[in-house]
């Protein structure tokens, strides 16, 4: 099975390489045919300007296709190349657990951060395409996933990364359970049970789900303490908004660490997640 997959990858790479060479050869043939004309053209009316440096040909000033090529070359293609290289590394590294174990702190944490960013890019592309098609038909859609690099609370992660799933959980599980039990933690527990079943009954999914539920529970308890001991005792006026913001950041830091570790389990599996765990 593994050998057939490798053969398929090699075949795709060869086909892609042949296609690239064919395009380059077509451009080369066109350039060689028109090189003499553009080189000897006197351009009496000033309609031409300098083209690509490595081709040394002139181009029409009103030709917007050249502007598009320039824009793609300087802005998109380098980042596409970087994305392809890093995505191959991300998909290959989890297969070599011994390699990840040799990473230092900076390398390990950088690897985890890149996994999160690429996961975010994946969902932006998937949701962006479907949202665009729905918007063309005047269908109201949820906003795109928010960058996980600036989310530090579990509640915000579930609200803003996958708003469609969040709205589904609230409407069809959380609110009906609140009518039965009236305990928010029990209603949240059933929501996470559904998330566990939805994403697949796997060990790393279970770890990710349990850590998320613990994070939501701790955040809920901290919010209750904030309303009971800080807002009711006028500490908000004494400390001021700046110090309250600093205190909340300090208290939320452990949740951010646990959130990152739980996502590493979700991204790369149980073995890689155990390496990140303290």
Q: To which residue do tokens 């208290």 refer?
A: 251
User: Active-site residue among 109, 120, 152, 199?
Assistant: 199
Q: What is the DSSP letter of 160?
A: H
Coil, strand, or helix at residue 161? coil
Per the CB < 8 A criterion, the answer to whether 273 and 261 are in contact is yes
Tokens describing residue 85? 């290289």
Instruction: Name the residue among 225, 216, 159 with its Cα closest to residue 184.
Output: 216
Instruction: Give dist(CA 155, CA 141) in Å, integer.
Output: 21
Instruction: Give dist(CA 116, CA 272) in Å, integer.
Output: 14
Per the CB < 8 A criterion, the answer to whether 131 and 139 are in contact is no
Tokens describing residue 254? 């452990």
Annotated active-site residue 199? The verdict is yes
Give me the helices (H) in the chain, please: 2-40, 64-71, 77-92, 97-101, 105-136, 154-160, 163-169, 175-180, 184-199, 203-225, 235-268, 270-276
State the burial class of residue 269 (Cβ atoms within 10 Å of its Cβ: 0-12, 13-18, 19+): middle
Q: To which residue do tokens 């770890």 refer?
A: 207
List residues with catalytic annotation: 199
């Amino acid at each position: 099975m593994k050998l057939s997959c490798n053969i398929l990858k090699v075949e795709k790479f060869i086909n892609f390489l042949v296609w690239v060479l064919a395009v380059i050869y077509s451009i080369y043939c066109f350039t060689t045919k028109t090189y003499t004309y553009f080189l000897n053209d006197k351009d009496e009316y000033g309609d031409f300007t300098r083209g690509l440096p490595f081709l040394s040909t002139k181009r029409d000033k009103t030709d917007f296709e050249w502007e598009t090529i320039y824009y793609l070359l300087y802005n998109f293609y380098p980042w596409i190349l970087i994305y392809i290289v890093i995505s191959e590394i991300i998909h290959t590294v989890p297969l070599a657990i011994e390699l990840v174990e040799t990473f230092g702190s900076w390398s390990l944490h950088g690897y985890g951060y890149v996994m999160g960013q690429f996961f975010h890019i994946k969902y932006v592309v998937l949701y962006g395409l479907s949202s665009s098609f729905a918007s063309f038909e005047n269908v109201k859609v949820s906003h795109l996933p928010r960058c996980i690099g600036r989310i530090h609370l579990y509640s915000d992660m579930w609200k803003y990364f996958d708003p469609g799933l969040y709205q589904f959980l609230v409407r069809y599980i959380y609110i009906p359970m609140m009518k039965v039990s009236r305990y928010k933690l029990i209603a949240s527990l059933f929501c996470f049970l559904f998330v566990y079943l939805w994403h697949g009954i796997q060990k790393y999914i279970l770890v990710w789900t349990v850590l998320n539920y613990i994070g939501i529970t701790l955040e809920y308890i901290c919010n209750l303490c904030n309303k009971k001991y800080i807002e009711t005792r006028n500490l908000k006026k004494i400390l001021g908004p700046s110090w309250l913001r600093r205190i909340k950041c300090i208290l939320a830091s452990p949740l951010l660490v646990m959130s990152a570790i739980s996502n590493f389990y979700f991204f790369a599996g149980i073995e890689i997640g155990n390496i990140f765990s303290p």
